[in-house]
């Protein structure tokens, strides 16, 4: 996949790479371009590990982390952006599978889970506040009230679909439909937010 990223690195070889500092800083236009250019590829990679709504959840999580996690963006130091992003997706998918096994009682929690808190602490307080404000605005401006439970269970608390459906007293297919609609609303909302 060519595009602005590989072109930027060709420029970098000539001496200047304006894209990388913009990506590290989390500039809206740059992150919007990442989302638009790489969404399909991220989803495709996620589907190598999981099916259906779980692949879309992983895709959402990866882009959410790119928006909110300065440390994650700074992990990319140059080279082939597509390869780096695919590895981020693969890691997220494997983490998702490990969480699922643990939730189903098939194994003990992965060792990496013990270190999740320090990694989460790397995000700055300002980023956390900004993310919470963004979530509240999405709830207020775009999220239909009847879907608030699904949004909370699947997107915020990240419950497995079966668990969320049981907790909410609905069929899994109904939950999956609402989740897909929420994901589309969230995508539109985030893209509108990224526009200068």
pLDDT tens-digit readout, 81-118: 888 898 888 888 888 887 765 454 544 444 344 444 44
Q: What pTM value is reported for the model?
A: 0.46
3-state secondary structure (DSSP) of residue 60: helix
**Residue 151 and residue 118 in one domain:** no
Residue where a domain terminates, one of 104, 122, 140? 122
pLDDT on residue 8: 43
Look up the domain containing 36 and give its range.
1-122
What distances in angstroms separate CA 185 from CA 76, 125, 144, one per listed residue?
A: 29, 26, 10
**Residues 196, 29 contacting (CB under 8 angstroms):** yes
Residue 196 has pLDDT above 70, yes or no: no
Evaluated on CA atoms 164, 166, 172, 177, the torsion sign reads negative
- Given a cut of 70, is residue 6 above it in pLDDT? no
- 71 pLDDT band, cuts 50/70/90, is confident
Q: Residues 49, 94: contact at Cβ < 8 Å?
A: yes
Q: Do residue 25 and residue 83 come from a single domain?
A: yes
**Does residue 84 sit in the same domain as residue 166?**
no
Of 122, 149, 182, the last residue of a domain is 122
What single-letter DSSP state applies at residue 109? P
**Domains: count for the chain:** 2
**Is the Cβ–Cβ distance between 22 and 76 less than 8 Å?**
no
């Amino acid at each position: 996949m060519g595009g602005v990223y590989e072109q930027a690195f060709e420029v970098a070889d000539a001496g200047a790479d304006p894209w990388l500092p913009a990506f590290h800083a989390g500039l809206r236009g740059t992150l919007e371009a990442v989302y638009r250019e790489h969404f399909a590829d991220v989803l495709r990679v996620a589907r190598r590990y999981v099916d259906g709504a779980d692949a879309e959840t992983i895709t959402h999580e990866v882009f959410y982390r790119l928006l909110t996690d300065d440390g994650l963006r700074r992990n990319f130091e140059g080279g082939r952006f597509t390869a780096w992003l695919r590895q981020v997706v693969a890691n997220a998918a494997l983490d998702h599978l490990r969480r699922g096994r643990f939730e189903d009682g098939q194994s003990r929690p992965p060792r990496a889970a013990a270190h999740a808190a320090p990694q989460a602490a790397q995000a700055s307080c300002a980023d956390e506040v900004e993310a919470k404000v963004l979530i509240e605005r999405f709830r207020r401006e775009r999220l239909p009230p009847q879907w608030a439970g699904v949004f909370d269970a699947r997107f915020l608390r990240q419950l497995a679909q079966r668990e969320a459906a049981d907790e909410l007293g609905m069929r899994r297919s109904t939950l999956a439909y609402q989740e897909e609609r929420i994901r589309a609303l969230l995508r539109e909302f985030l893209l509108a937010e990224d526009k200068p």
